[in-house]
Amino acid sequence: TEIYTLSLHDALPILKLPRDNALAKTFIGGVPEQMTSVTVFRQHAGDVTEEYQVYWKGRVAGVDVGGDTVTLECENIFTSMRRPGLRARYQITCRHALYQNGCGLDKSSFAIPATVVAAAGSAVTIEDLGSSAVEDGYFVGGMIETADGYLRYIVRHSGNELTLIRPLTALIDEVTTSSDGSADVTLYPGCDKSETTCTAKFNNLDNHGGFRIPGKNPFANSVTGSIA
């Protein structure tokens, strides 16, 4: 990779790449689909054996695009171990991520195969789902997955039109380059995190991560002592 500058700030590498660099382009307009790992090697001056040793390993944690330069700020892979774990929040809606630990649902059990016939920016058009037709909003909060395994969160669903949280480059490229202008994908229904949806849509109430919070505040008593 062509590197303009590699500097160490608090022992963390900062890479500065030209804007037209292949790696830099993947960070312009969004985050790459996969985590970008970084390995820094070093060699002693005058070492005739040209023996390079691994000096640092980590990943790209932040990006700054300015002018003709893309700056990649890195962090040690072990920094994540110093972060506090997530705590359960006292809330009405479910605190679990859909299809992840806690939720317990197997997304393959709810997978719906579909064909994308148009993709531009965050907008995606799918063919008529036929017998699998669902109501508007069914996929909001769910995901679309390409044949290569790239996922994107769905924020809007109306008819055969989906809006993704951000463009899915891999899908756009596949639709653009395919002979028939389409791409096979898999759709996963979304969840609004309510008990009603958890029960009716997924039959998963036992794993619902919300709490049944009283609608009246016991600390907001009137002077007579009645509950507000």
Please give the model's pTM, rounded to 2 decimal places.
0.70
- Residue 3's pLDDT is 54
Q: Are 167 and 121 in contact (CB under 8 A)?
A: yes
Q: Give the β-pairing of 183-188 and 143-146.
A: antiparallel
CB-neighbour burial class of residue 156 (10 A; exposed 0-12, middle 13-18, buried 19+): middle
Q: Measured at the alpha carbon of residue 134, what is the angle toward residues 128 and 138, in degrees to the nearest 5?
A: 120
Residue type at 28 in one-letter notation: I
Q: How far apart are CA 165 and CA 28, in angstroms?
A: 16
pLDDT at 1: 45
pLDDT in tens, the chain (228 residues): 455 566 665 567 788 888 888 888 888 866 777 788 888 888 887 776 778 888 888 888 888 888 888 888 888 877 766 666 667 788 999 999 999 989 999 999 999 999 999 999 999 999 977 556 689 999 999 999 999 898 999 999 999 999 999 889 889 999 999 999 999 999 999 999 999 999 999 999 999 999 988 877 767 666 555 554
Least Cα distance to 203 among 105, 95, 137 occurs for 105
